[in-house]
Chains A and B, each alone.
Chain A
Amino acid sequence: MGIKVNLEKCIGCSLCVKACGPGAITITDKKAVIDMSKCTMCAACVESCKKFQAIEITKESSAKIDVKEYKNVAVFIEQHDGKIAGVSYEMLGEGRKLADDLGEKLVAVLLGSGMSDAAADLVKYGADKVVYFDSPELVQFRDDTYTALVCEFIESDKPSILLAGASSVGRSFVPKIAARVWGGLTADCTKLDVDTERRLLLGTRPAFGGNLMATIIAPHHRPQIATVRHKVMKAAARDESRTGEVVVKSVDASKINERTKILNFVKEVESTVNITEADVIVSGGRGMGKAENFALIRDLAEALGGAVGASRAAVDNEWIAYSHQVGQTGKTVCPKLYIACGISGSVQHMAGMQSSDFIIAINKDPNADIFQIANLGIVGDALEILPELTKVFKEKVCA
């Protein structure tokens, strides 16, 4: 167990020394030597030694399960008020691809109440089998109940892979499932792949606010679980010709020890567009100057059918509610179009939006950092440009 240098392959080139963050590697007698008290097993050296393949991380695991007993790709379907979340269709699209690559089935797991039509519909979106837990107890998301039922599903169906959206709901209860079943969980993936030979899920995810990407595997544990970021995967297309089975499961509430109680829900977002699911986001920062000017952001967002975002500065100045904040301490978004207005582009803000498909930045300062990642940079005053831009799109709608 651990990390090993293959002395026959190592030529002492010292590339790994440079790659090692904690400074755990030195070259002695033209061979790499790893100081185990400093090594964090980050695998940066393995990557740096791609050419010679002299460093290897081997892992012995305590897991005693037979991974071959686990089969099929399962997708957790998220619903709010009986409406299926957009990210779940993206999971079905991606899950279908992975299942096809592995030659396995795609199973959708839905927890809800009075949703039999929606459950049957999931077949049209690619599921070979739908497991639908139907109970009035399942109208709202609740941590203990969701954890218990999805664990029950894992026990009965033994899926090899389980996918869920990296939403507030998914990232709340899925880690509890992983903790309970000793599964391998990779959070907030932006790319999924399978190694068909080893039958492994490869989950690639950003860390360090997007400055480092890591591909994670769980070779000896099942299921292999991943939460996946919104808007990264392509949503499944509806296909009327698809067929599959729907299994309805009843819920014995007396067996579930639900300890949390939701008293009420308070809607805080101003527009009807959910910021993490929006195709277009218009975002404002310090450069907007004052609260009243934020109306210009809202106007353009409305004209474009998009959502309103904000930098930390705008939220700290109380120009808009925290639920709109984009960045490391706010939400991570990746819309098709992100328009940053009067946002200088701090590392923290960019961490939350740099994976957007197309970025337009409007800023008075030609040297603003945001221009480094903008596909289109506009050096100018957002206060002058925004109203004109809104006018163009409003006219288009009217005409």
Chain B
Amino acid sequence: MVGPIYIIALALGLAFFLGFFGKSLKTFSGFVMLAGLAGMTFISGQWLMAFVDGSATTQEIFTAGFKPPFSINLRMGIEEATFTFMINVIGLLGGIYLFNRLKEVGNSAMSVFIVLIMSLNVIVMTRDIFNLFVFVEIGSIATAGMIILDKTSKSLQAGLKYLLATGVISGLLLIGIIFAYYFAGSLNIDGIIAANLMASKAGAVAVFLIIAVLVLELKPFPANGWGLDVYESSNPGFGAIVSAGTATAGLFVLYKVLPMGGDAWYQYISIIGLITFVGSNLVGTQQKIANRLLGYSSIGQIGLVMTVIGLQPILGDAFAFIAFALLLNHFLAKAGLFWISGIIKKENITDWSALRKNSALLIMFVIFIFALIGFPPFPSFFGKYELIMSLISSDNIWVAVVILIGSFAEGIYMFRWLGHVLKNENSEEEVLDIPWNKFIPIVLVTVSLLAAGFYSVPFVAGANYFYFVPLAFILFLGLIDFLPAYIKNTVSIAGMGYYSWLLYPLVEGDLMRTIFFAIFMFGGILTLVVGYNKSGKREGFYPVALMMYAGLATIVTTDNMFGFFFGWELMTAGSYFLIIRGKRSKPHAYSYMLFSVAGAYLILLGFGLAHASGQTQALIALKDISVLPTLAYTLLAVGFMTKTASLGLHIWLPGAHGEAESDVSPMVSAVLLKAGVFGLMLLFLYMGEQTGDTLLFILGWVGAFTALVGNLAASFQEDAKRMLAYSSIGQLGYILFAIAMMTQLGWLAGFTYVINHFLFKAILFMVVGGIVVKAGTHNLYQMGGLIKKMPLSFLAVLIAMITMAGLPPLSGFAGKWLFYNAVILKGWYIQGVIVFFAGTIAFLYAFKLLHSIFLGQLKDNHRNLKEISPSILIPVYILIAGIFYFSAFPQDVLEPIGNMLANYFPSTLEWAADGNAVTILSNWNGNAVMIIIISMFVLVLGYLWLITGKTQKLEQFNIVYSAERPFRPETTHVSHNMFAGLNKAIGFLVAPGITNFWNNVSKMVLDFAGVVRRLYSGNGQVYAIHIIIYIVVFYLISIG
């Protein structure tokens, strides 16, 4: 094998050699440089492979032929091989990316570039502290040169600031090194470690200076203004090198040198890392300039890895995987983002919508963003999961909490950015120029990122390669995205059908899972059928829709917490993309995502506590949590409630569901919301009534108020889809209330609501969505009289409304009957009254919706409307058949559920042989009621039909006040401000207090970030002062 020393010889030899050409032969020189970088990559790559297959052992390379400490030695072990390989790969790809720019500047720029990469290699390999210093300086000077690659005034300023800062830093390092030599008598790192300098105060100061400086090289918050300026002003192609390459080397050095300081230092490093991770991301929330934002994110991510390095003694065996997964993830994703930035060439993130002009680039951008936030299936997801689990198991909950806060802050700006990219206006004239040499490196890091996720599986308990099967299908759908929508729709339905068949054995025998499985998969297929009425390609729709369903399927079939969380995050990602497809969905999808991410982190913490108690990833760990049980159950409940949109956490829902596309609304409303319910049910069953006594009581109240506020707000809506969205909040309130009772009847009611809500909300959103598209408006008062144009739609909405309002004979009544029995038996009278009141309000909006759309007079512009498409009506009528079946034979479904629930709760419901349901309070027979009511209905309908022939027809708005036509005729429409009186009486209940609360929270965070970032005054000298203050404060904390 080629010795590692040749990395240095090759790079320097070529760098010097390029000088021969002076200013000529630039292209040739460029290829010489790339060949050199490729050679370096090859050398470290072959060592890496040898270490991986076990054919090599750690090598010590003695320069000058003398043993250390007498001469400088380098080391090549598996760690060094990995890190040099990463650095050389980024060097090679970065060199390809920057090829044209380097060529323009000249051969000397190529020399500087290759020397920079070489210096990072030596920094990783050397075992001599002074040699480390020399090559750190080489790196700094080369960096100072590369900063001005673009030759702008800003980059000049940044370069000078960088030089001043690193000058001060390296001076202090030198003092540390010379005194380390004075005390240890050696410059060899291992020799200094062996000398244990920490024993004396002065020795400790020397170690302090060395480590503190190496930390400062990693640009810790807040002493990092100079680093941010570099990211902002330099060529993004070089930003990638700094963020991925330099930082990787710097982290490795820290890892290498840290044993000098002993145990205490690990703790300091983890704290510094945490402050950097949270601080940098928090300040980043105010940032609008893309490259600077990437700088904040880079520094944050490096802080996270620094934290992990500091946590090494705590993490034990898991350390290597966690640190490497997080580092590699940052390394690949950040390089990719910087490279994309270099293609887009837009300073402000609000202008990044230009990215949409190239869908491949757009997809890769999305992948990088999701990888950074830690979504599956990327390595950071696995790393972060392991990290949180290990931290909580080792009693470091607060560290886990802080890490998740930092991660959330990163989500704040990353998803805002993504929203701009996906939804902002896009000017047509500009063309995106994508040279292949800039495109290929981005593709390569994307592929590596996906592969790295795949290879993370064996390192995490509970992870399974099977989770990648649906992802492969999604990838396939992405590849056939150029086909027309109906083909992809068919493929998707077939895929889901096959996958359901494949997964069914996993839920078979577990009734609760089977019900949710049916809702998710069957509901999913039905909502996909609706998609047949869409023409064109629907670019990007099918992969994300299937991603959501894959996540739901994973949640309901998995038996361990990791799988659940994997599915949960997958579902969140998929649904986010579905929601943001709506025309005005940008802010709503954003708040949906933030609530979801926050909720997911709460769930993760809860899982961590469960894992810490049970020492297993199996879901059974949720039973009898012994570590902080109240906290754990509360976190989990609140986490799941972000998805069920319970009061206080609901503000994302109306916009997200209301603005979504017509077939997305039923997906996210009828199907997706049930994921939260499934989580809550699972949680409650494991928790049990005893443990969760207080929590359940509170949740009962929350459920009651959610029902009230949701329904009330629905009745005041003028927008048809928003009304349905608010109605979902109310319905989910019922469900929460019902299952919080923790009795057999309560849960039966809960299940009935779950099934009903799925059925009728899917119908309503499908039909109303179809009508809204046809009518061209969401506003109820701009519709009317559509009953004649769309009789089938009317009938469907009528049936759904009857179900929703809980009127006999349909299954809504079954829910209500069970519900009141349950409330009375439980004794939650006051809450019960609130829910009852909410139920009456449900009548109001049910009537409003039905009346405004279908009754009254037809609008002029709707004269030519036709019935909505059969691709909507077919699934709708399938669902209606479901309602009738469930209404007529409730015992078929409810009896097995009741029996299952009897395992958990005392049985209070009997089923008579004729289908009569009996409680100690009353009884009810679904099919008898059905027969009676339907016959009455038919009679009345027939009578009405007979007498309608005599009515006189009125034209629209033929109303005249005192010979004047009203100025805005629609205000005279009955559904305009229909319940004004009610609004006056109790409308304050739905005043946007909660929305205001969350707005204020976010404003406070942003204001805080705005104040903190004033630290970065722009003055290079001030940044040098920051460094000295940092050193002094750090000293006072660690030694003084």
Q: Is B truly associated with A? A: no
B interface residues with partner A (beta carbon < 8 Å): none
Chain A contacts to B: CB under 8 angstroms: none
